[in-house]
Amino acid sequence: MAQLILAPDKERSVFKRHPWLFAGSVAHLVGRARAGDTVEIAAHNGRPLGKAAFSPKSQIRARLWTFDPEETIDDAFFKRRVAAAVARRAALPELAGQEGVRLIHAESDGLPGVIADRYGDTVVVQLTSAGADKWRNAIVGALVKATGCARVYERSDSDVRGLEGLEPVTGWVHGEAGGAPLSIDENGVRLGIDIAGGHKTGFYLDQRDNRLLLRQLAAGKSVLNCFCYTGGFSLQALAGGAESVLSIDSSGRALDQARANLALNPSLPAERAEWLEADVFEALRVFRKEGRQFDLIVLDPPKFAPSAAHADRASRAYKDINLLGFRLLKPGGLLMTYSCSGGIGLELFQKIIAGAALDAGREARIVRRLAGSPDHPVALNFPEGEYLKGLLVQVD
């Protein structure tokens, strides 16, 4: 096994059990290793610190599988880690009965680069690192064993694979497509899932609890759902008794799926739903000119800042969209606003929202801080895992 020697004083992150080692922390490689190979991590004095997946083309040069230098990285290792992740979800009572659940949340479950979401008897796996890609068969086998799922689909087509020197990979890796279209029940609402063509693994399970919160707030309100994707928030608002729900997205395909999802729920009042294909920024500016206002606005935009290097530009985009949101709220209205950008921390996000409210001339207060659902845990040693942050804000 090759050995990755750290530069002097660069072992501190390992002692803190942070799983990433950047290129600047590495002194040299002893022996040969290809992308995804397991290497031993050693301090500058030669002290073994753990074992990691090597990634020569990435700025994250190694991702630690284990902080135990004696632990073997083999098929049995992945069976243990996957089984433990699945068991953690099974122990959470708030996930009982949910047909859509994240089973593996990458570094926060001790499996860097591995995402796995379950939709009924189908699991969708996403492998974003060289190490995860190398151990594909072991990971898939461990998922099948731990869940008893009928099929596993791979959606390893995210942009971050390019940073690892990896090509996109998609398709069935266990079993094959079932006869009926895939759908799940989420808190009483039926949702179709496009695992092959949808975003990420097909859906955003991290917003499950926040969609339920919206349902609890929506009764009698006019709701504006921006960046609505396939209508998860919109349908929960209708289920909660919203007076009207206007949903906007720039993707016609996503809106088609949203309309289809509404049709899957014949008990919901379809006449109260309106779907608009448009650029959200432009649409909100038009609403402002028209003098339209809403009781409750959801702003759940795509990732504006994939890394801290994009934070300045992203901050301007977040401020712009939230400024528009504040200006469209009725007195006493609620703004449910989110960022899924890893490069925007919670403190900065709150400052951006505060600046938007100030520029809009609105007095506002935080009613609740919002985060991902409990099947998206954040390891204490890996704060980068807390990518989704949100605020529920009320205006005067």
Active site residues: 340
Q: 279, 320 in Cβ contact below 8 A? A: no
> In whole angstroms, what separates CA 228 from the centre of its chain?
15
Give the residue ranges of DSSP H helices in 160-279.
160-163, 208-217, 232-239, 252-263
Phi/psi at 325 (nearest 5 deg)? -60, -45
Distance separating alpha carbons of residues 343 and 176, to the nearest angstrom? 37
> Looking at this protein, which amino acid is placed at residue 18?
H
Secondary structure element (H or E) that encloses residue 274, with its range: strand 273-277
Strand ranges of the sheet holding 60-66, from the earlier edge strand across to the other edge: 20-22, 60-66, 48-54, 38-42, 3-6, 26-30
Crossing angle, helix 280-290 and helix 311-327, to 10 degrees?
30
Distance separating alpha carbons of residues 59 and 23, to the nearest angstrom? 5
Structure tokens at 303: 């990732």
Give the residue ranges of DSSP H helices in 218-310.
232-239, 252-263, 280-290
Distance separating alpha carbons of residues 239 and 268, to the nearest angstrom? 6
Specify the pairing of strand 294-299 against strand 183-186.
Answer: unpaired
